[in-house]
Amino acid sequence: MTTSTRVLTRMKRRWGEIKKKRWAYMFISPFYILFAIFSVYPIIFSIYLSFTKWKGMGPKVFVGLANYRRLFGDPIFWQSIRNGVIIFFLYVPIMTLLALVLAVILNAKFVRFFRVFRTMLFIPYVTTMIAVGYVFRIMMNTNYGLFNMVLISIGISPVPWLDNVWWARVSISLLIIWAWLGYNMVIMLAGLQTIPQDLVEAATIDGANPVQAFFRITVPLMRPIILFSVILSTIGSFGLFNEVYALTTVGDVPGGPMYATITPLVYIYQQAFRNYNFSYASAVSCVYFVIIFVLTLLQLRYFGRED
Amino acid sequence: MAVTKESRLIKTKILDKRIFVYLILIPICIFMMLPFFWMLITSLKTMAEVFNVPMIIFSPNMGLFNYRDVIDKGVWIRLWNTFLISFSATVLKLFFCSLGGYGFAKFRFPGRNILFSVLIASMIVPFAVTLVPLYIMMVKFHWVDTILPLVIPGAASAFGIFFMRQYIRCIPDELLDAARIDGCSEFAIYGRVVLPVVTPGLISLGLIFFMQSWNDFLFPLVILKSPEKQTLPVMIATLTGLAGTNMFTLQMAVSVISITPLIIIFLIFQRRFTAGITFGAVKG
């Protein structure tokens, strides 16, 4: 038998195997067809568009790296990246710690009305972010908002929640914590139920106080789940949109005051759908994708090494 | 004597703990519920009362006038649009995800590992990257202002296929083989054996999909141009008066209409809902 016929029979056998399993390919094909049409092709199209100048009408003019040159000198773009990082650090540590503490509390057997508390904490997750964003906007108004009225009534001076660069970021973070605390808590609660309770009890008998037991035993055992929620939040804080649109739109421009809360996604929206600068928006998308890609790889590497 | 003293000591210790625990829980829960309360009472006030200093919490003039206003502005058609989009998207997604999950869970075929890696990797593509080119595609397809862009592109969610795969893997192979021996086609096995067994998983996943679709904002905002095609979240964001000022009281009325169905669904299916959330996270 010559090599070519051997290759041929092997190919035939493989083809036979594929034919036998045609059902499996049929079952999984919808994903790959839709992924090719609605994700892969758009990304390629976006890369092409980023080398042109096009405002949504007329011919696309090839401009080489002009969009990228503009992008690297664009202070608002870099501000949006910086905002993603700042907002991440403003809410993730507090939210994660609070979610873990709440999960530990609700996991204790002596808490009454366990289900009522869990429901109240989780309900924000199912509500429309745009709706809640506007309520927060009303409550956070400097002059007539509920938050400042409460602060004044207990003798604290009012806070410019949405009018000051740093406070606006704090406000966005508060809104995110409100919306996602219950979700993270429910995940951690499920994680807690997988770790043996007698470990904590043994430590308590050995004289550890609840705080020591929490940091020495619960936190290390919960590491994988804590990392999961942190990874989700990383990508989440660069992709913030609804929160910013509802809470910190100043005039007609989302992401204020002074671009303090603009995120990459808001900037892309702004360039594409307000300025109709589709090619520049595409360049922003491409650079953003590279940043997210590298960030995810780094995290996966860190994550993968530990488990 | 000593025993009673000890037990009393433990009792007071637990009581201390309880008070401490409720001191954390109750303020947080009040903070969680506050926006709902504020949304509701703002939707019953006039704009002048919202801006009033000192603050008016309850006023004798409260009424349903904002709701009457938003009904005149066509809130019911938006509610229907939101429902139609969410329902179609959910049904289609559940079909493709359970089908794909079955394919990955119960078949060994050439290229399976590579294909599965592609599926997992696709989850890291952020929506921000495809937003602009996808919109341009939708314009070329003449799909702008229809529900298709909000249903078709996301119809086979990678997360959902992964989720269903984990679920379907738990079905014993003997069950499927028995059906095969009885002469069922693979598609019939999917429909008559797999689907009934994984119904709880389908409900959990369906609730997540329905909620995501119902609350979706950015893509509907750019796709649904004409007012009568809008969804509720888009209506909330575009209810602006002269000079782009927000009409807060009307926005709150629409917000109440937008969040109520989801909260009712959640309260009914709470166990399935949290089961879905934790299944996706803890197993993933």
Q: Is the peptide bond before A158 cis (omega within 30 degrees of 0)?
A: no
Check whether residue A141 and residue A18 sit in a common domain. Answer: no
Closest Cβ–Cβ partner in A28, A126, A251 for B104: A28
Q: Give dist(CA B75, CA B241) in Å, integer.
A: 17
Q: Which of B99, B267, B281 sits opposite A27 (nearest CB)?
A: B99
- Cβ <8 Å between B32 and A128: no
DSSP reduced 3-state for A260: coil
CB contacts under 8 A, B 80-119 vs A, are: 96, 99-100, 102-104, 107-110, 112, 115, 118-119
Residue A191 has pLDDT above 90, yes or no: no
CB contact under 8 Å between B31 and A143, yes or no, is no
End-to-end Cα, chain A, rounded Å: 49
The answer to whether B42 contacts chain A (CB < 8 Å) is yes
Whether B10 shows a pLDDT value over 70: the answer reads no
Matching residue, tokens 């593509």: B125
- The torsion angles phi and psi of A253, rounded to 5 degrees, stand at -110, 115
- Which residue does chain A place closest to B17, by CA atoms? A110
Are A40 and A73 in a shared domain?
no
Residue A262 has pLDDT above 90, yes or no: yes
How far does the CA of residue A100 sit from the closest CA of chain B (Å)?
13
Mean local confidence (pLDDT), B49-67: 88
Query: Which residues are registered as beta bridge partners of A52?
Result: A62
Residue A34 counted as domain residue: yes
Q: What is the mean pLDDT of residues B57-69?
A: 91
**In a shared domain, residues A32 and A135:** no
Distance CA A306, CA B111 (A): 29
* CA pair distance A133, A247, nearest whole angstrom: 5
Give the domain range for residue A42: 3-49
The tally of domains found in chain A comes to 2
Give the percent of chain A with pLDDT over 90: 59
Q: Is A231 helix (H, G, I), strand (E, B) or coil?
A: helix
**Are A99 and A149 found together in one domain?**
yes
> Which chain A residue's Cα is nearest to B277?
A187
In this complex, how many residue pairs, one in chain A and one in chain B, have their CB atoms less than 8 Å apart?
Answer: 278
> Given this model, what pLDDT does residue B237 score?
93
Mark yes or no for CB contact B100/A30 under 8 Å: yes
Q: Strand, coil or helix: what is B59?
A: coil
Q: What is the pLDDT of residues B96-138, one digit of tens each?
A: 999 999 999 999 988 999 999 999 889 888 888 999 999 999 9
Query: What's the CA angle centered on A124, arms A123 and A129, to 5 degrees?
Result: 140
Q: Of A17, A121, A289, which is closest to B129 when you measure between CB atoms?
A: A289
Residue A228 has pLDDT above 60, yes or no: yes
- Maximum average pLDDT range among A47-61, B44-58, B73-87, B168-182: B73-87
Phi, psi of A55 (to 5 degrees): -110, 25
Mean per-residue pLDDT, B66-92: 96
Q: What average pLDDT score do residues A19-43 get?
A: 92
DSSP character string of A169-197: HHHHHHHHHHHHHHHHHHHHHHHHTTS-H
Q: How confident is the model at residue A233 (pLDDT cuts 50, 70, 90)?
A: confident
- Which residues of chain A does B140 touch, with a Cβ-Cβ cutoff of 8 Å? none
Q: Which of B56, B132, B279 to mutate to test the interface with A (most CBs of A within 10 A)?
A: B132
Q: What is the Cα–Cα distance from B166 to A264, expressed in whole angstroms?
A: 34
Nearest chain A residue (CA) to B118: A32
Position A113 confidence tier, pLDDT thresholds 50, 70, 90? confident
pLDDT value at residue B5: 61
Does residue A61 belong to any structural domain of this protein? no
Asked if residue A283 belongs to a domain, the reply is yes
- pLDDT at position B283 over 60: no
Domain ranges of chain B: 2-42, 65-283
Q: Poorest-confidence range of A78-82, B19-23, B210-214?
A: B19-23
pLDDT one-digit tens code per residue, B135-167: 999 999 999 999 999 999 999 999 999 999 999
Please tell me which residue of chain B has the smallest CA distance to A56: B136
Are the Cβ atoms of B24 and A105 closer than 8 angstroms? yes
Which class for B217: exposed (0-12), middle (13-18), buried (19 or more C-beta within 10 A)?
A: buried
Higher pLDDT, B34 or B7: B34
Q: A114-126 and A75-107 helices cross at what angle (nearest 10)?
A: 160
Q: Do A24 and B107 touch (CB under 8 A)?
A: yes
| Contact list, A24 vs chain B (CB under 8 Å) | 103, 107, 109, 112
Q: Does a structural domain hold residue A59? A: no
Do A160 and A37 fall into the same domain? no
Which amino acid, one-letter code, is at A269? Y
pLDDT beyond 70 at B254: yes
Measured CA distances, A147 to A74, A193, B38, B42, B161 (Å): 36, 37, 11, 15, 43
ipTM for this prediction:
0.91
Neighbouring residues of B110: CB distance < 8 A, sequence distance ≥ 6: A14, A17, A18, A21
Neighbour count for residue B195 (Cβ, 10 Å): 17
Residues 6+ apart with CB under 8 A from B138: B144, B149, B223
Is there a single domain that holds both residue A79 and residue A17? no
Whether A251 and A156 map to the same domain: the answer is yes
Chain B residue whose CA is closest to A120: B29
Q: Is residue A56 assigned to a domain?
A: no
Predicted confidence (pLDDT) at residue B41 exceeds the cutoff of 60: yes
Arithmetic mean of pLDDT, A138-163: 92
- Concatenating the DSSP letter of every residue in B102-121 gives HHHHH---TTHHHHHHHHHH
The gap between the terminal CA atoms of chain B, to the nearest Å, is 53
Across A34-38, A231-235, A286-290, B33-37, least confident range: A231-235
- Among B21, B112, B130, beta carbon nearest to A42: B130
HSE-CB for B90 with a 13 A CA cutoff: 21
Contacts of A21 in chain B (CB under 8 A): 107-110
Same domain, A39 and A73: no
- On chain B, the residues whose CB falls within 8 A of the CB of A246 are 237
Looking at residue B6, what is its pLDDT? 61
Taking CA–CA distances from A243, the nearest residue in chain B reads B217
> Which residue bears the tokens 């995800």?
B97
C-alpha distance from A307 to closest chain B C-alpha (Å): 13
Looking at the domain covering B65-283, what would its CATH class be? mainly alpha
Percent of chain B with pLDDT over 70: 92
Together in a domain, A281 and A155 = yes
In chain A, the percentage of residues whose pLDDT exceeds 70 is: 98
Q: What would the DSSP string read from start to end of B191-244?
A: IIIIHHHTHHHHHHHHHHHHHHHHH--HHHHHH--SGGG--HHHHHHH-B-GGG
Of B103, B110, B246, the CB nearest to A17: B110
Q: How far is CA B267 from CA A111, A222, B261, B271, B272, in A?
A: 21, 28, 10, 9, 10
CA dihedral (A95, A96, A102, A105) positive or negative: negative
CA A164, A166, A171, A176 dihedral sign is positive
- Structure confidence at residue B13 (pLDDT): 64
**Do A164 and A300 fall within a single domain?**
yes
Lowest mean pLDDT: which of A108-122, A135-149, A200-214, B214-228? Answer: A200-214
DSSP H helix total and E strand total for chain A: 16, 2
Q: Given this model, what pLDDT does residue A307 score?
A: 45
Using the Cβ of B128 and the Cβ atoms of chain A, whether some distance falls under 8 Å is answered with yes
CA torsion sign for B126, B132, B136, B142 is positive
* Region B3-25 average pLDDT: 71
* CB-side neighbour CA atoms (13 Å) of A94: 13
With beta carbons under 8 A apart, name residues in chain A contacting B236.
128, 130-131, 134
CB contact under 8 A, B110 and A35: no
Tell me the angle at which helices A278-306 and A223-238 cross, rounded to the nearest 10 degrees: 170
Residues A120, A8 share a domain:
no
Partners of A211 on chain B (C-beta within 8 Å) are: none
What's the pLDDT score for residue B1? 45
Confidence band for A287, pLDDT divided at 50, 70 and 90: very high
Closest partner CB to A264 (pick from B128, B266, B282): B128
Give the 3-state secondary structure of residue A250. Answer: strand
d(CA A240, CA A262): 9
Q: What's the DSSP call for residue B246? A: B
* Interface contact flag, B134 A42, Cβ < 8 Å: yes
Using a CB-CB distance cutoff of 8 angstroms, which residues of chain A are in contact with residue B246? 134, 137
Asked if residue A265 has pLDDT above 90, the reply is yes
| A28 contact residues in B (CB cutoff 8 A) | 99-100, 103-104, 115, 161
**Has residue B91 got a pLDDT over 70?**
yes
Q: Chain A contacts of B189, Cβ < 8 Å?
A: none
Q: Nearest CA of chain B to the CA of A261: how many Å? A: 17
| Contact status, residue B244 vs residue B68, Cβ threshold 8 Å | no
| B34 touches A: beta carbon within 8 Å | yes
Provide the shortest C-alpha distance from residue B1 to chain A (in Å).
22
The verdict on residue A85 lying in a domain is: yes
Indicate whether A18 pLDDT > 60: yes
